[in-house]
C-alpha cells in the first residue's frame, strides 16, 4: 500500500499539532472560565484495559487516532459525535477507549468485539490528558494543570460516552489493593508536575495487578475433541539481545465462541510451512501446529514466567490491532539513571604536546580540555567507533586555523590504529577501537570523528543508513522538530526502528540500523526514494535536492551519506565550531523538549551523562532489513 499525503498527515498529527498555524485564537465557541494552575502532588490513575486513542478536534472535523497514527474515526462514530458536542474550535484529547462488563470491570475482548460488530454504543472514552487546546501547546505545562483544564471542559458534557479519568491522592499500596480486588488491571502513577510526552517516560510508572503482556502469535494448534476452531495459540517475544523471535509458550483459555471463529478466520491466511522461530518448540509441543507469519499480537495475562521465558496459567484477552508486531519484547521498567561513565583510559597516560594551546577562542577551551573530554566520554563513544572506518577533522591551529578532513592514518602517529588499503576497503580507511587510539588522535589535534555506515566485518554491506536533516539556517527550531516528527512517522509506518541524535549544529540525525544483507547501492537507493517521497508529500517544507538554493525556507533531508565511504559525525563527537558543541543521542521522548541541536557542548555534556542511560545502548541488538513490502509502500520496485 502506498503511503499517501492524507495518511502521512494523519500519522504525523498523532505526534505533532500539524494545523497549529491555522487555528482560531478564540478556541472555544462558548466561553469557559478555564484557569491553568500548577500543582505539585503526585497522582494515581486507573489503568484501563482498552485502546489508547488520541482525539483531534478542528471544529466539526473530529478524528480519532491510535498510538500508531491510524485513523479509527469510522469505527467510533458515536464517540466522534460526542466530541463534536463539546463545541471546541481546536484541541487534542488523550484517553482510552473502554468497554465495561455488568460488574463495571473493563473487558478488552468485549471492546474488540464491539469494534468487530460495529456496536460502538458500548464504548466509553475515558479522557486523561490535554496536550493541545485552541492552538496552544500545553505539553510543557504540569500534568495537574492540563488535567484541571480537561476536567472543566468535560463538566457539562451531555454524553455518557465521554468521561474524565479521575485521579487519586491516596497511599499507593491501598489503592493498588483496592484496584486488584475490583478486578481492575492496575494503576498508573504519574508525577503531577510532569510534561506531556507521547510515549512512556520516567515520570510515570505502571502498577499491574497481574502480569500482562502483548505476544506475537506464531502458530496455533488443532482443537482437541471439540468443535472449536482451534485449540491454543503459540506465543513468541523478540529477544532483547538478538532481536530474533523466541518461543514463549501457549495460551488456550479466555476465548469466547465469537472470538474463536473471528480469530480463526484471521489466522488461516497467515499459515506458512516453517516456523518463524530460530528455535521452535519440539516434540509434543510442536505436534500438529499450524505455523503462522508473525503479524498478529495477542494480549495475554499470565501468573508467572519461567526462567526459560515460558508463560504459565495464561489467559487470552484479545488481539492488539493498534501496535506493530515487529518489536514486541518483555515489558520492563524504564532504565534507571546512572552515574557518568569513568574514562576507560586515564588522561595521565597520554603525553600531550602544547596542552595549553587554545582550540576555541570563544570559550578558551584548550587542547588539554579536549583530551579530557574524550577521555571522559570514551565508554560512550567507543561503541560507536568499534570496527567502523573513521575520518578525522583535525585543527592543528585551533578553530581559527585551517581544518583538515583525513580518512586514512597516513603519517599520523596514533597507537593501535587499524589501517586498510584501497584494495581492501575500496579506499584507504582507518579504525580506532581503543581508548589510547582515541586519545592518540586528540594528540594529533583531532576535534571531530566521522564514521562509515559499515564495519570492517564487511565493507560492502552497510549495517545502517542515516538521514541528516539539514535546515535553511533562517528556519526556526520548531520547523526542525516538525520535519523530524514527519520523518519518524514515515519510518514508523515502514516498520523501521530508528535512533535519534542531535547533529551538534543546526539539524538532526536519524539512524536506522540494518542487518548486513543489502549492498551500498540498494541501501542508498532506498534512502533516496524515502527522501523523495517525503519531499513530494511536503514540498513547501522538505527538499530532496542538496545545495543552499534548494533548501531556502526548507529542510534538506540528506541521503547522500549512505554511499560507500561517505561519513556522518559520530555520536558523542565534538564539533569543530564555536563553543565546541557535541552530537548527542537522545531518547525519542526527549525530542519535543530540545531547545536546539547544539544545546550540549564540551562544558555541559557530563551533567547529561550523569542523568540518563545511553539512548543508543540497544542499537547493536536491533535486527531489521529493507523488505519488498517497504519498497512497495514507497512505490518503488
CA dist 468 and 470 (Å) reads: 6
| CB-neighbour burial class of residue 134 (10 A; exposed 0-12, middle 13-18, buried 19+) | middle
Q: Could you tell me if 626 and 518 are in contact, meaning their C-beta atoms sit under 8 angstroms apart?
A: yes
Query: CB atoms < 10 A from the CB of 481, how many?
Result: 16
Nearest CA to 392 out of 406, 378, 376, 402 is that of 406
State the angle between helix axes of 435-443 and 367-376 in degrees (0 to 180), rounded to the nearest 10: 170
Q: Coil, helix or strand for 451?
A: strand
- Smallest Cα–Cα separation from 563: which of 622, 535, 599, 523? 523
Geometric angle at alpha carbon 238, from 233 and 244, rounded to 5°: 110
Among residues 47, 506, 524, 564, the one annotated as catalytic is 47
Strand pairing category for 542-543 and 555-558 = parallel
- The answer to whether 414 and 455 have CB atoms below 8 angstroms apart is no
Concatenating the DSSP letter of every residue in 393-444 gives: EE-TT-TTS--EEE-S-TT---TT-EEE-HHHHSS-EEE--SHHHHHHHHHT
Based on the residue annotation, tell me whether 457 is a catalytic residue of this protein. no
On whether the CB atoms of residues 184 and 209 are closer than 8 A, the answer is yes
Crossing angle of the two packed helices 520-537 and 477-494, in degrees rounded to 10:
120
- What CA–CA distance (Å, rounded) separates 637 from 629? 10
Please list, in sequence order, all residues whose beta carbon lies within 8 angstroms of the beta carbon of residue 543, skipping any fewer than 6 positions away.
535, 550, 551, 554, 555, 556, 557
538's CB contacts (< 8 A; 6+ apart) are 486
List residues bridging with 451 in a β-sheet.
390, 568
Residue with C-alpha cell 472535523? 61
Among candidate residues 484, 486, 516, 515, the one with its CA nearest the CA of residue 501:
484
Which secondary-structure segment (H or E) carries 132? strand 124-133
CA-CA distance, 609 to 584, in Å (whole number)? 10
**Cα 19 off chain centre by:** 23
User: What 3-state DSSP class applies to 288?
Assistant: coil
d(CA 542, CA 536): 8
> Do the strands 124-133 and 542-543 form a parallel or antiparallel pair, or are they unpaired?
unpaired
DSSP string, 234-251: EEEEE-TTT--EEEEEEE
How far the first Cα of the chain sits from its last, in Å, is 13
Number of Cβ atoms within 10 Å of the Cβ of 227: 7
How far is 448 from 568, CA to CA, in rounded Å? 10
C-alpha cell at 463: 549495517
Task: Tell me the catalytic residues.
Answer: 47
Amino acid at each position: 500500500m502506498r503511503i499517501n499525503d492524507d495518511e502521512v498527515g494523519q500519522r504525523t498529527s498523532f505526534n505533532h499539532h500539524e494545523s497549529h498555524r491555522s487555528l482560531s485564537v478564540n478556541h472555544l465557541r462558548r466561553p469557559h472560565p478555564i484557569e491553568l494552575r500548577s500543582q505539585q502532588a503526585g497522582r494515581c490513575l486507573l489503568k484501563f484495559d482498552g485502546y489508547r486513542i488520541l482525539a483531534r478536534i478542528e471544529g466539526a472535523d473530529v478524528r480519532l487516532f491510535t498510538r500508531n497514527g491510524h485513523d479509527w474515526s469510522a469505527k467510533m462514530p458515536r464517540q466522534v459525535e460526542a466530541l463534536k458536542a463539546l463545541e471546541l474550535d481546536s484541541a487534542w484529547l488523550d484517553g482510552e477507549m473502554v468497554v465495561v462488563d455488568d460488574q463495571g470491570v473493563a473487558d478488552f475482548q468485549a471492546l474488540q468485539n464491539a469494534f468487530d460488530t460495529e456496536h460502538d454504543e458500548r464504548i466509553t472514552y475515558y479522557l486523561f490528558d490535554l496536550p493541545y487546546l485552541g492552538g496552544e501547546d500545553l505539553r510543557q505545562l504540569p500534568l495537574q494543570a492540563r488535567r484541571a483544564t480537561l476536567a472543566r471542559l468535560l463538566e457539562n458534557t451531555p454524553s455518557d460516552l465521554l468521561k474524565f479519568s479521575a485521579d487519586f491522592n491516596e497511599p499507593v499500596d491501598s489503592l493498588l489493593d483496592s484496584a486488584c480486588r475490583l478486578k481492575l488491571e492496575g494503576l498508573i502513577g504519574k508525577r503531577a508536575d510532569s510534561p506531556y510526552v507521547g510515549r512512556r517516560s520516567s515520570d510515570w510508572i505502571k502498577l499491574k495487578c497481574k502480569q500482562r503482556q502483548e505476544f506475537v502469535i506464531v502458530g496455533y494448534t488443532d482443537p482437541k475433541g471439540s468443535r472449536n476452531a482451534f485449540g491454543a495459540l503459540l506465543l513468541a517475544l523478540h529477544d532483547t539481545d538478538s532481536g530474533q523471535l523466541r518461543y514463549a509458550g501457549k495460551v488456550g483459555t479466555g476465548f469466547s465462541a465469537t472470538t474463536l471463529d473471528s480469530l480463526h478466520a484471521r489466522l488461516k491466511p497467515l499459515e506458512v510451512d516453517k516456523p518463524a522461530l530460530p528455535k521452535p518448540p519440539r516434540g509434543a509441543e510442536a505436534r500438529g501446529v499450524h505455523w503462522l507469519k508473525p503479524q498478529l499480537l495477542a494480549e495475554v495475562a499470565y501468573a508467572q514466567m519461567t526462567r526459560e521465558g515460558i508463560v504459565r496459567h495464561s489467559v487470552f484477552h484479545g488481539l492488539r490491532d493498534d501496535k506493530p508486531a515487529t518489536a514486541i519484547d518483555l515489558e520492563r521498567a524504564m532504565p534507571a539513571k546512572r552515574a557518568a561513565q569513568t574514562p576507560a583510559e586515564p588522561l595521565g597516560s597520554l603525553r600531550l604536546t602544547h596542552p595549553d594551546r587554545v582550540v576555541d577562542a570563544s570559550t578558551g577551551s584548550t587542547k588539554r580540555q579536549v583530551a579530557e573530554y574524550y577521555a571522559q566520554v570514551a565508554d560512550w563513544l567507543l561503541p560507536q567507533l568499534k570496527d567502523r572506518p573513521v575520518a578525522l577533522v583535525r585543527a592543528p591551529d585551533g578553530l581559527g586555523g585551517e581544518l583538515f578532513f583525513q580518512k586514512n592514518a597516513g603519517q599520523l602517529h596514533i597507537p593501535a590504529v587499524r589501517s586498510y588499503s584501497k584494495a581492501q576497503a575500496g579506499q584507504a580507511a582507518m579504525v580506532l577501537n581503543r581508548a589510547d587510539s582515541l586519545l592518540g588522535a586528540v594528540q594529533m589535534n583531532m576535534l571531530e570523528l566521522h564514521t562509515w555506515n559499515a564495519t570492517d566485518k564487511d565493507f560492502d554491506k552497510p549495517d545502517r543508513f542515516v538521514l541528516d536533516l539539514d535546515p535553511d539556517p533562517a528556519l526556526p527550531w520548531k520547523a526542525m522538530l516538525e520535519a523530524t516528527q514527519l520523518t519518524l512517522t514515515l519510518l514508523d509506518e515502514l516498520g523501521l526502528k530508528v535512533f535519534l541524535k542531535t547533529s551538534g549544529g543546526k539539524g538532526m540525525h536519524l539512524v536506522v540500523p540494518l542487518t548486513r544483507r543489502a549492498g551500498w547501492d540498494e541501501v542508498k537507493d532506498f534512502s533516496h526514494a524515502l527522501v523523495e517521497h517525503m519531499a513530494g508529500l511536503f514540498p513547501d517544507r522538505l527538499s530532496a535536492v542538496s545545495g543552499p538554493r534548494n533548501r531556502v525556507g526548507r529542510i534538506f533531508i540528506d541521503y547522500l551519506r549512505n554511499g560507500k565511504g561517505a561519513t556522518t559525525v559520530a555520536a558523542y563527537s565534538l564539533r569543530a565550531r564555536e563553543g565546541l558543541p557535541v552530537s548527542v543521542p537522545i531518547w525519542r521522548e526527549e525530542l519535543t523538549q530540545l531547545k536546539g541541536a547544539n544545546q550540549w557542548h564540551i562544558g555541559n555534556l557530563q551533567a547529561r551523562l550523569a542523568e540518563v542511560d545511553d539512548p543508543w545502548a540497544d542499537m547493536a541488538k536491533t535486527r531489521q532489513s529493507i523488505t519488498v513490502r517497504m519498497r512497495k509502500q514507497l512505490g518503488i520496485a
